[in-house]
Every structure is written in structure tokens, then in C-alpha cells.
Structure 1
Amino acid sequence: MYLIKSPLLLKWYYPSLLWNKSRTEKVIYLTFDDGPIPNVTDFVLKTLKVFNAKATFFCIGDNIVKHPEVFERVKTDGHAIGNHTFNHLKGWTTDDETYLENMLKCQELTQSNLFRPPYGRIKKSQVRSLKSLVWTLDSYSKLQTPNSKLKNSNSQLKIVMWDVLSGDFDINLSPEKCYRNVIKHTENGSIIVFHDSLKAFDRLEYALPRVLAYFTEKGFTFATL
């Protein structure tokens, strides 16, 4: 059971999380979770390039380690990188210390101030812990990462959610319905979730180029977060 459009109640309960961007500009923010992996992420990159679109990729650390060449292609193409934990941990069923350590392990690879909790499930205590971090080498040293070479951004972490969920991960959803989910619910400033994963590929392959074509024709642009 999942909601395509994020409800106002959820946004109210987690007000410090980023759900959407400005509603005044015709800009859409495509995001891709769970990569990078060969073939699927490559398909996404090629499709985005056709439409001169930029996106944000929330990467799993373990996949970065396994497929560093795909990760480099994402960065080379000018897309933004986000942290999606090292092992795709579900915050609701993970203790805070383990969750933070797993996120920081991925952070060594992504070096990003963007974070998306897997499944969109995160405890308020985990939000507080993550928000309290200062993205400097000193703060990582205190968290027992003495060999860190992370960039000093001095900016607070942005925990990114979404206001439109494509449903591409749902194997019971038709590719056409996945496309319609996005078309129906997207508006100015929407943050949309797709997945560059094998599980989602059948629906992603159908929906992504059609979504890009539809909104490009309507004068929207696609930007990074």
C-alpha cells in the first residue's frame, strides 16, 4: 500500500524534510533511487540526455562500490548525487546508531548534502541526528572516520522526500499506469521518484521517456536538487 501523492498530513508531521520545490516556476525535479547499476542507470542517462534533462540520483553505497564506472558516468553527465544509505536500510526498523553509521559509510562515497531515507521511512530521532551533523572533516573525525577525505561544505544536510511517487517499483502496476501516475499528479516544483533498479525497469523504460516528452512539450525544464 502506498500513496502516489504525498499527503499534507505527512508534510506537516515532517516539516523539516524537503517535499517539493517552488510552485511558481515550471521546473520538475526527477529523482532516481537505488542505483547505480549497469544497463538500467545507463538507460536513464541516455534518455535524460535526449531531452537535455538533469536529475538527482540517490545512490546506495554498496552499488557504488560494485559499479564505480556507472557512478562516474552519472557524475560526468552533470547530474546531482544523493545518499541513500550503504545498504538500503529502513529507518523504522533500524536503531539510530546503526542507521547513522550506515549513512556515513555511504557518505564517504557520495560526498553529498542530499539524503533520502530508503522507503521514505525515517524516525524523528534519526532526522534530528542527521540534521545535527556539520559537514566538515572535523565532525566526521569525531564519528570515528579519521581517514575521511570528504569535502567541507559547511551546509546542513537536506533530507529529501517527494510529492509524486511513480510506483515503478510495483511489479503489479502496468507501465501505462506508472506513466499516468506521474502525469496526473505532477505540478510546478514536483519532486518525482523513479528507481534505476532491475525490479522497476519494465515500468521505468516505458514511463520515463514519455514523461520527459510530455512535460517538455508543455514547457517544463528538468533540474537537479
Structure 2
Amino acid sequence: MAGFDKVVTDYSQAMSGLEDDMVVISGGFGICGIPEGLISEIKRKGTKGLTVVSNNCGIDGFGLGILLKDKQIKKMISSYVGENALFEQQLLDGELEVELTPQGTLAEKMRAGGAGIPAFYTATGYGTLVGEGKETKCFNGKNYILEQSIVGDFAIIKAWKADRYGNCIYRHTAQNFNPMAATAAKITVVEAEEIVEPGELEPSIIHTPGIYVDRVIKGDFEKRIEKITLSN
């Protein structure tokens, strides 16, 4: 990388510095909008003891799910066990620590972490298992629990288009957690379908400004469909 140019050409360079026991925040919802190549690089590196923050853990054999086979993930902070049988089994067997977090709270944990807000109050989860052991406070007659924000060591992000300066746009539902996750880490790596020159992206449609991004790599995506429902 030179100057403002954040493009790297190989995945080992993109994920350079990732070590055991780090916190990785991953964009994506199910297998929509996931950084497939960056996840595969974590698999190749064999990095272990990871705490992974993501809505869920992909599916068996794809997405973040590929990191479960060799037990590279120590803890998941997520909202949904989903269709991943290995995720469920490791959870039930006590091999994987899982911190189930309401989906909106998880998104806000990332957003607040990126904004430098250490914690926030939310009514979501009050009086349930989610709120057990957490500080509570009453505002205007309504009870809230205190949730800590999240800042990761790495954020891995999938963008539709990115320029060489790291400005990104996401396409349709692939926005999901990607914009929040991109702001909430010490090192943010973007895997983009297309890399364009600075100035080619209309400023008004940029979702993630390049100031949040450290590295950009061009990816090739399988874009697998998780479920297909057909009508007769």
C-alpha cells in the first residue's frame, strides 16, 4: 500500500497481523454479504481461539461455518444459531461458548463501538436471560439494561464496490451488518466485488467512508443461496 492507496493483492497480506485469541467482527447475515475469501484465509492460516462477532455462523461447510470444523472459534457473539448443525452441536457439547445477543442490540454494539461509545442502555432483554447480571436503570418509568459496545481487532467486510481509498458501497440486503462492522475494529479489511478508481463512486451513495478502512482486496464470490423456496 502506498499513500492513500489501500489495495492489497493477496489474502495473506489482507489478513496480516491476525493472531490467535483475537476478536474478529464479520459482516453478513446468514451467507448474504459475507467476505468469503477473507474467511477462507482465516481457515488457511489456522488461527485459533478466536472470538467471532457476527449475526450467525454461516452454514455447514460455508461462510464462517468452515472455521468450526477445526475448532478455530472459541466464542461466538451472535443472534442466531441458524441452519448450522455443527454450530449447534458444539454449543450443546460445551465446546463453543456462545453469547446470544438480540439482533438490534448486536448491531448497536458495533455501531456504538465504532462511534467511541463504551456502553448504552436498551430496553431489549430486560427481565429475560439476556439481562441477567447486567446493570439496570429506570428512565421515565421504563427499565433498561446496560450493554457494552464491541470493538474488534479485525473487521472483515464484503462490499459491492470499493475505490482504492477504501470508500465502499454495499448492494441491497448485503448492507446488513457490514456498515456497522466496518467502523468497529482496529483493522478493517474489505473484500470487494469490484475496485474502482477514486472519484468513480458518487459521494452521496458511499456507505462506508475510507477513513474506516485499512485494506481492500478484489474478491471472487460464490454467492451461494442458503434456501430456495419454489411454488407449485
| Structure 2 length-normalised TM | 0.33
Q: Which has the higher strand share?
A: 2
Higher relative contact order (CA 8 A, sep 6+): 1
| Structure 1 length-normalised TM | 0.33
Q: Which has the higher helix share?
A: 1
